[in-house]
Structure 1
Amino acid sequence: MMAKKDVRVRYAPSPTGFLHIGNAQSALFNYLFAKHFGGTMVLRIEDTDLKRNVASGEKSQMDNLRWLGIDWDEGPDKPNPKYAPYHQTERRDLYDKYITELMDKGLAYKDFATEDELKEMRDKQRANKEAPHYDGRWYGASEADIKAAEDKGLPYTIRLHLPKDHTYEWDDIVRGKVEFNSDNLGGDFIIQKSDGLPTYNFAVVVDDHLMDITDVLRGDDHIANTPKQMAVYDALGWKHPNFGHISLIYNPKTGKKLSKRDKDTLQFISEYKREGYLREAIFNFIAFLGWSPVGEKEIFTKDELIKAYDPKRMSKSPAFFDQHKLDWINSQYIKSMSSSEIADRVVELVEEGQTPIAKKIQEDDIPNLHDYAEHVIDIYKHSVFKLTEIMEYVDFYYNILGQDIDYSKLNDFSHEDLEKLFNALEDKIHEASENGQNKGLDYGPIVNEVGKETGMKGKKLYFPLNVIFTGDTSAPQVAQIMGLFSPSVISALINKALRGIE
């Protein structure tokens, strides 16, 4: 491991779409690694796949990383003149320089094979039960053959020549010793495409070397790229960084790697945000996908995770996505945060209007939404898993007079008792309102007085109140819920219930 102050890691997304959970996992472990060792995290944009780039892809990646609590020390928006630029499309002259160097050394060469020729080659290899590989047909071609192809204007790629029967091995940060034989890498591979742009396995080496990257942490699906990249390092006479390959995330239901086809799991960080997950909970949850701390503790702040992070405790086994665990972690954060802060997050979701319930609350146009939401949160924060559940309660209670309440739930109670209870309650509220307590009525003492006057208590008192004010037979602290309504709304609900039990 490098000296702590020298650690430089990078997260290098392609701007081909939104930040998904697998990207976020890689970004998060690079962030923890950099922060734990007091090093530097670099954000680099690998945008050479021009056909797949999405206009808003880069902004989406950066916005969602920031929302998650992952920031970087260098990047397109924080350039260090020593290492800039941070977009691969702006670094093309650097790649060309090293391509030329390898060509001059005889370690790379032009390949004029057409797609049809390459397909025919692979088909023959499969027919002979060989693993498909490039057969090196243009390696060592004569100058005359090369000139003839160039004169015809044939397109070409540039390939790196691999040594025969050479072992590429490294001590992986996560997996320990890993090795590949050069004969099993598919033959000489392309380092520059026919459009003149570098391939991923070439550009990433040049960038990592020139940006002084010391440790490369990335998904386990990149492990087969590593020996090819080591071949480029060797060809250019450079020392390679430390490599670590993070466990991929698996769907526990299918036992397979998490895929965009898995409709039962949210894929993108933006979806988790709009569905009411807290960034602190998502950060905490992802940190446990491929790593575990010492001990049984499961709820960690970001600072605690940075301190506890130890790359030696990264897991070689697949990381299974546990939805119940995520919901539980989210509920713990909701319980521990102040109602005012949760209300801030709810208001933000409503303003962004990304879900049906957010749009519905926008239509409700609730005066002083923050305070109203905070009141609802005070009541329900210990029983919900997501902010969208709180939003559902906000909309339900704000529109309580329009809710379809099933009064048949009160069939076991006598009409006489119900009328006595409801009328006594309305009288007490009217009396309190007449005494100038119209604003901020405390309904707890009022309900207690109604109980004493009517001789009703327990289920006989609270069951009917739960039904008329929440539509449910059980509710947390019905007196608190009544505080969401004006005395006139409560009076209307009582009269609606009286009509409903007729």
Structure 2
Amino acid sequence: MSGEMRVRIAPSPTGPFHIGTARTALFNLLYARANGGTYIVRVEDTDTARSTAEHEADILEGLRWLGLEADEGVVSATEERGGRGPYRQSARSARYAEVAAQLYTAGLAYYCFCTSAELDAERSAREKAKLPPRYSGRCAGIAADEAARRVAAGESAALRFRIKPGVVVIDDLVRGRVEIDAEALGGDLVILRADSSPLYHFTVVVDDADMGITHVIRGEDHLSNTPKHILLFEALGVTLPKFAHLPLILNPDRTKMSKRKSQTAISDYRAEGFLKEAIINFLALLGWSTGSEDEVLSVEEIQGRFSLEHVQKAGAVFDRTRLEWINGQWIRKLTHGDLLARLRPFYDRAAADGRIGRPATDDEIAALLPLIRERIPLLSSAIELTDFLFLDGLQHDPALLVPKRWEAATARAALEAARPLIADGIGEGDAPLLDAPDALEAKLRTLAEEQGWKAGDLFMALRAAATGRTATPPLFDSMRLLGRAAVLTRIDQAIAVLRAA
């Protein structure tokens, strides 16, 4: 291998781009940037039964969106960068066959003629004896000329790599020295199936060797595979890469995060309105310590601090509450124009699927920004918070119109008393007052005091009447955005509902 640092991410397109792959990609990119290295994206698509073009496209788009696009390797369905390709395993079959033949010729691999039934019987016998799975090696002693004759005669045979006995040492950059006895590896390893298709442990080593990978940074769940890979690297006569196994990502109950128990697809988080900056920020903190109390960091700040020495060994808990908090912090950091541009698709989708009654204009969204910026943890939260502004009419829930301390008659009387003050206090197209003194609010507080009501109860009834919601942006500025006619119409409708209650 050359002196250049080269790292890689090698996703398999058998499912959507998920949190674990994104975290691994980020740590590889950060390590490359911190050390002047090259970050490679390789696609491991030899599982033809489950690999799809749609999953590959989702992975590559997710990497692009997060800013984790390849320096070298696969960039899109039609583009690869770099001179050590192909970077898709499906295009490397001839290379795998060539290397497998070299191992066979060197006596480091042999043909295995065991049938599925025979292998199943072996496994069953070991299970009954309470022994871990392990191939017996029954074909390991077949003479090369006999094996060649049987293969030439058309007999089905896989190719197995001979696992060298002894202890395999992994000097892991995160976990330190790890020793695993080859006895625990399950016996000699199939590297080519009987149909000549290669298996993962073989292809990943051939690819890493051919592409000059100097550092293999991946999840802890691969640690048990690493001795097999080390033995294959040694058999190929290439310099071992350095290994770093990242901590598992855990659910809050400390079980391993998986798509069966958790939301893992990056596209789902994107659709909810998590910002790419927040996801990158949060993923970096899944197993890495900043060395300070800082939690909200740009990718540039993270790059300036990142090192594998500060990656923890213990599992990293995926805390959605923390992710939402970080996302909210990043929303607050966006410029007015950037936040508007990022909210625009959410309002468009809400209009298209009927969650709001009509499309929102840029001016309408812009007017909302000062009211909602500090209140939304997700971009999608803006729709839930402001949909009442874009509805042609409301279906009032009588239960929401009546504060807990009031009767329906009190709520109706309060709305009737407040109506003329609101009619005089707002117009059409009024700008929000934000933190400026609000004469309408002052008059309504005086009304409540005169009537012996708590102002909060009056405002609650008015909020439900004008918006149909119990939680909105500030009440009086929400009314100004609705405009006098719409507010009065809704108050009249609410009064009629209460009169009929």
TM-score calculated relative to the size of structure 2: 0.88
* Rounded Cα–Cα distance in structure 2 between residues aligned with 1:163 and 1:115: 24
Who is 2:228 aligned against? 228
Q: 1:303 to 1:151 in 2, by over 3 A?
A: closer
2:368 is the alignment partner of 1:380: no
Counterpart contact for 1:358–1:391, Cα < 8 Å? no
* Rounded Cα–Cα distance in structure 2 between residues aligned with 1:36 and 1:144: 52
Q: 1:308 to 1:101 in 2, by over 3 A?
A: same
Who is 1:111 aligned against? 112
2:324 is the alignment partner of 1:322: no
* Rounded Cα–Cα distance in structure 2 between residues aligned with 1:473 and 1:230: 61
AA aligned to 1:258 is M
- Which stretch of the first structure deviates more once superposed, 50-59 or 116-125? 116-125
* Rounded Cα–Cα distance in structure 2 between residues aligned with 1:147 and 1:476: 78
Quote how far apart the aligned CAs of 1:276 are.
1.9
* Rounded Cα–Cα distance in structure 2 between residues aligned with 1:453 and 1:162: 83
2:422 is the alignment partner of 1:425: yes
| Alignment map for 1:303-314 (pairs within 5 Å) | 303-314=300-311
Quote how far apart the aligned CAs of 1:273 are.
0.9
Q: Secondary structure at the match of 1:387?
A: coil
2:144 is the alignment partner of 1:146: no
Who is 1:273 aligned against? 270
- The gaps in structure 1 that reach 5 residues or longer are 433-437
* Rounded Cα–Cα distance in structure 1 between residues aligned with 2:17 and 2:157: 34
Q: Secondary structure at the match of 2:62?
A: helix
Who is 2:121 aligned against? 120
Who is 2:24 aligned against? 26
Any idea what the Cα deviations from partners look like across 1:121-172, whole Å, max 9, x if unmatched?
22223333433211222223124642553255221111111222x2221210
Who is 1:71 aligned against? 69
* Rounded Cα–Cα distance in structure 1 between residues aligned with 2:15 and 2:471: 45
- The gaps in structure 2 that reach 5 residues or longer are none
AA aligned to 1:303 is E
Counterpart contact for 1:43–1:72, Cα < 8 Å? yes
User: What is the alpha-carbon root mean square deviation over aligned residues?
Assistant: 2.8
Quote how far apart the aligned CAs of 1:474 are.
6.9
Counterpart contact for 2:415–2:491, Cα < 8 Å? no
Out of 56, 61, 66, the residue aligned to residue 59 of structure 2 is 61
Q: 1:364 to 1:493 in 2, by over 3 A?
A: closer
- Which stretch of the first structure deviates more once superposed, 336-345 or 448-457? 448-457
Quote how far apart the aligned CAs of 1:399 are.
1.3
Quote how far apart the aligned CAs of 1:367 are.
4.4
AA aligned to 1:260 is K
Who is 1:183 aligned against? 183
Out of 385, 401, 408, the residue aligned to residue 393 of structure 1 is 385
Any idea what the Cα deviations from partners look like across 1:252-306, whole Å, max 9, x if unmatched?
22x32112221xx311101111122121111111111111110111111111111
Counterpart contact for 1:7–1:38, Cα < 8 Å? yes
Q: How many equivalent residue pairs?
A: 484
* Rounded Cα–Cα distance in structure 2 between residues aligned with 1:153 and 1:474: 74
- Which stretch of the first structure deviates more once superposed, 122-131 or 171-180? 122-131
- Which stretch of the first structure deviates more once superposed, 280-289 or 456-465? 456-465
Any idea what the Cα deviations from partners look like across 1:334-355, whole Å, max 9, x if unmatched?
223234422322222455x4xx
| Alignment map for 1:69-108 (pairs within 5 Å) | 69-77=67-75, 79-108=80-109
Quote how far apart the aligned CAs of 1:381 are.
2.3
| Alignment map for 1:156-305 (pairs within 5 Å) | 156-164=157-165, 166-253=166-253, 255-262=254-261, 265-305=262-302
What is the identity percentage for the equivalent residue pairs of Structure 1 and Structure 2? 33
Quote how far apart the aligned CAs of 1:74 are.
0.9
AA aligned to 1:91 is R
* Rounded Cα–Cα distance in structure 2 between residues aligned with 1:211 and 1:387: 41
TM-score calculated relative to the size of structure 1: 0.88
Quote how far apart the aligned CAs of 1:212 are.
1.1
- Which stretch of the first structure deviates more once superposed, 375-384 or 21-30? 375-384
Out of 4, 7, 15, the residue aligned to residue 5 of structure 2 is 7
